[in-house]
Amino acid sequence: MDIKKLPFEPMNEVHQKEVEILERLLEFIKNQKELVDVYNEFLEDVKRHFSFEEDLMQKYDFFAKIPHSMEHSRIMDELEEIKKYKLADYQFLQTYFEEYFIPWLINHIETMDTVTSGYFDMIGVTIDKTP
């Protein structure tokens, strides 16, 4: 899975880690393995990813922090619903991730994250370490 590299490097590290966990989750789905642990790990990672960006947008008062954060929470709600109701439905999960979540993630990174990352880079944001 190819994702766009952004000018603000800490976001790339967060995205790369997410892609790794996502690819493992997809393997589990394809092989119809027990999903509870890997899905929880994925969910925790998405939370870390989103709050990493949201904390920085808040701290540096990024102009589009509200629509960007709302987009995160919309997806987060979906992922939480799936955890509750769909974790045994492998056919649904495969379709959801391949046809919806992955295209969404790629597009989100190419649009909202790109603009956000450009802003962080432009104002010279530095952080001690990525989560």
Tokens 């990672």, residue? 45
- Residue 113 sits in the site that holds Fe ion (CB under 5 A): yes
The piece of 23-31, 52-60, 76-84, 95-103 that touches Fe ion (CB under 5 A) is: 52-60
Amino acid in position 12: N
Q: By Cβ distance, which residue is nearest to Fe ion?
A: 113
| 51 SS3 class | helix
Q: What are all long-range contacts of 51-58, with beta carbons under 8 Å and residues at least 24 apart? A: 52/10, 52/11, 52/14, 52/130, 52/131, 53/11, 53/14, 53/113, 53/116, 56/120, 56/125, 56/127, 57/116
Q: Between residues 45 and 53, which has the closer beta carbon with respect to Fe ion?
A: 53
Stretch that binds Fe ion, among 28-36, 45-53, 57-65, 122-130 (CB under 5 A): 45-53
Residues touching Fe ion: how many (CB under 5 A)? 2
> Of 26-34, 98-106, 108-116, 120-128, which part binds Fe ion (CB under 5 A)?
108-116
List residues binding Fe ion (CB under 5 A). Answer: 53, 113
